[in-house]
Amino acid sequence: MPVFTYKAIGQEGEKTSGTVPAASRAAAIEAVAQRGLVPVAMDEQRPAAQARTNLFGSVGRVSQASVEAFNRELANLLAAGVSMSRALSILAREASQPAARKQWAAIHDDVAGGMSLTNALARWPRSFTPVQVAMVRAGETGGFLDVVLEQIATFRSRERDLKGRVRSAMVYPVVLAVLATAVLVFLLTYFIPRFSEIFAQFGENLPALTRGVVAVSHAVTEYGLVIAGAAALAVILARRALSSPSGRLAAERALLRVPVLGRVVARFALVRFCRMLGTLLGAGVPLVASLKVAREAIGNQVLAEAVGTSTEQVQQGKPLARSLAANARLFPASVVEMIAVAEESGRLDDELRRLAGVYEGELDRQLRMLVSLAEPALLFVMATIVGTIVIGMLLPVFTLQEFIR
């Protein structure tokens, strides 16, 4: 049976806390009330083994497709007039994935116990992102939760498709890079040492290129583990640096300065911003609140800070288009002009969703162009490295007759 930790106020106003076993959160609240206490906080304790499973293992992890289906089905049930508690009970009962069934049941218990849906979803950050929780909070506050949930499901579906196209576009360049690395390691550790043993028998000075290739091969052969360890340490240190806010900010600034790749990153952020802002405005969320949520959806701290400045200007009464014009890297002049016209005509939400679709197509074309450029570039680099090694090994062969004489 689950165990709940509670904080309560006694009959004389004293604060107390403790634990109580109960089948659900509602039952735990009732049990505490029967003790003559007024509960003010109630949280379910999770076993350490379950916490480790949810954190490191696949058991307990709910797929993104299940979360998307949860949002869409909950929106349909609420729009049909089904109560929140009954809708959550239906979703928990009909979930096909065991982990989803347990998670939906826990959300139902929290909501049935008096917790808001926003706080219940926030307890599962791996399934429900902060952006989604913020959207649900806006929907609960404004009384259009079913509309917001439907918009969330649509947004996540489009977001998943866009990320899927990015990943599929990078498959071939990554495979090519791995193969090139494998070929290079084979040449340096097996092929070149065999030739260097032959050349050493002649006792003559080898060409400079050959000596350089042999020296690199010798370093990889003798100190390969040290080099691999240093590379692994560098990766770990880089990941730690990127996990800190300052390191991630510096990396994002450097990435935005890359000529072609920076443009792709900015376009990806623009698509996410426009779709999220258009979705929220279409659901009836106020502009300032929508901007604050859409800012979190950008996924780039540098560009998010710029949008934060625009949000402050909008709060002061400045039009949205004028406030966005200061960040030309994220919002081109054409986009700002279209947003300005949409503001004047009162169709900002439709225009933002249209812009998201237009620039999503442009982003797809840019990704295809990057991949088409990366493939010959990687082939050229691979051919240059392998060709240098082969030429370095063949140069002594041309003078082999002189060595024999």
| Total number of residues shown for the chain | 405
Of 190, 172, 171, nearest to 182 (Cα)? 190
pLDDT given for residue 58 in this prediction: 39
- Separation between Cα atoms, residue 349 and residue 54, nearest integer Å: 38
Q: Any bridge partners for residue 214, and if so which?
A: none
pLDDT at 158: 72
Q: What is the pLDDT along the chain (405 residues), one digit of tens a residue?
A: 567 777 777 766 677 777 777 766 767 777 777 777 777 677 776 544 344 344 333 335 788 888 888 888 988 888 888 888 888 889 888 888 888 888 898 888 888 877 888 888 888 888 887 777 877 877 777 677 887 788 778 777 777 776 777 777 778 778 888 888 888 888 888 878 877 777 666 555 677 887 788 888 888 888 878 888 998 999 898 888 877 777 777 887 888 888 877 888 888 888 888 887 887 788 777 888 888 877 776 767 777 787 888 888 888 888 888 888 888 878 888 888 998 999 888 888 889 888 888 888 887 787 777 777 777 887 888 888 888 888 877 777 776 655 555
Helices 98-112 and 84-94: crossing angle, nearest 10°? 160
20-55 burial, b for 16+ CB within 10 Å, e for fewer? Answer: bebebbbbbbebbeeeebebeebebeeeeeeeeebe
Residue 247, judged by CB atoms within 10 A of its CB (0-12, 13-18, 19+), counts as middle
Assign a CATH topology to domain 59-128: Receptor-associated Protein (1.20.81)
Report the pLDDT value the prediction gives residue 55, as an integer from 0 to 100: 39
- The CA-CA-CA angle for residues 131, 331, 171, to 5°, reads 65
pLDDT score of 402: 58
> What pLDDT does residue 213 have?
82
Structure tokens at 233: 């340490």
Using only C-alpha atoms, the chain has a radius of gyration, in whole angstroms, of: 30
Report the distance separating Cα 132 and Cα 279, nearest Å: 12
Task: Report pLDDT for 48.
Answer: 42
Q: Is the dihedral of CA 307, 313, 316, 320 positive or negative?
A: negative
Residue 233 is predicted with a pLDDT of 92
Distance separating alpha carbons of residues 208 and 293, to the nearest angstrom:
61
Residue among 200, 166, 252 nearest 396 (CA):
200
**Spans of all domains in the chain:** 3-45, 59-128, 129-405
The CATH homologous superfamily for domain 129-405 is: Type II secretion system (T2SS), domain F (1.20.81.30)
Distance CA 6, CA 38 (A): 10
**Domains 59-128 and 129-405 belong to one CATH topology:** yes
User: Token pair for residue 312?
Assistant: 């402050």
CA–CA separation, 276 and 268 (whole Å)? 12
End-to-end CA distance of the chain: 90
